[in-house]
Structure 1
Amino acid sequence: MTTLTMELPETVFSALHADPEEFAQQMRIAAAIKWYELGRISQNKGAEIAGLFRAEFIDVLSEAKVSSLQITPQQLREELADAD
């Protein structure tokens, strides 16, 4: 696994009412949602990035008002292959 280090002002954490670990998790989820919404990743990859099970990721998509049905034919083939 790759580790990414970022420098952020301490005020970021207090503004979001999150400690650094919660903030990092929220960033992973937000990135996964956005990349999925843009069609850059599949649901499986989004769940992996977010650190969630796929069903949990679908719930998060719904909460963010992002359709879980945004899938290309290629992504569908990949997801069906992953299911085997």
Structure 2
Amino acid sequence: MRRIILDVPDEPLLSLHLSTDAAATEIRLAAAMKLYELGRLSSDGAARLAGVPRTVFPSRLADYGGATFVLSEDEIAGQTPLG
């Protein structure tokens, strides 16, 4: 596992009203959800980044109003089978 160090200004962290550890967890989840939404990570990869079980990730997405299924335009048009 790799470690990434992120410098975050105090003001956003204070406005979240979270401990540093809780903010780190929130940021990991937000990054995982956005990368999943953009199609850059699979749901499994996003769940691993978020630090939650794969079966829990869709419910966390729903908690934040995210789409639980991300389809390409071709998949929506029915040109590519889902897999």
Q: Unaligned 5+ residue runs, structure 1?
A: 77-84
Asked if 1:29 is matched to 2:29, the reply is yes
Q: Summarize the alignment of residues 1-84 of structure 1 with structure 2, pairs less than 5 Å apart.
A: 1-71=1-71, 76=83
1:70 counterpart letter in structure 2: V
RMSD (Å) for aligned C-alpha atoms: 2.1
Per-residue Cα deviation, 1:39-81 (whole angstroms, up to 9, x for no partner):
11111001000000112111011112222221566x93xxxxx
Identity %: 29
More displaced stretch, 58-67 vs 7-16: 7-16
Cα distance in 1 between the residues matched to 2:59 and 2:65:
10
TM-score normalized by the length of structure 2? 0.77
* TM-score (norm: length of structure 1): 0.76
In structure 2, the gaps of 5 or more residues are 73-79
